[in-house]
Amino acid sequence: METKWLTPREVAAKLRVHPGTLANWRCYGRGPKFTKLTGTPGAPVRYSEADVNAYMKQMARREAA
């Protein structure tokens, strides 16, 4: 099965957050797993669709807070 890669904008839309929020999460080690395409600053970032779906499943609440 081939991995489907999503851009930060696509992931932000799926999670219903601002792309800047997603960038902040990356800086603080939060949010779904991501991959930088190169090791240089400002390199493109991609998320595997499976990792985003796993993150959403993990964040689902079973009970009201």
| Dihedral of alpha carbons 22, 30, 10, 16, sign | negative
Instruction: Answer yes or no: is pLDDT of 61 > 70.
Output: yes
Instruction: Answer yes or no: is pLDDT of 65 > 70.
Output: no
Give the pLDDT confidence score for residue 17 in this predicted structure. Answer: 97
| Dihedral of alpha carbons 21, 59, 31, 4, sign | negative
Give the pLDDT confidence score for residue 9 in this predicted structure. Answer: 97
pLDDT tens digit sequence for 18-52: 999 999 999 999 999 999 988 888 889 999 999 99
Instruction: Answer yes or no: is pLDDT of 64 > 70.
Output: no
Structural domain boundaries in the chain: 5-59
pTM of the model: 0.84
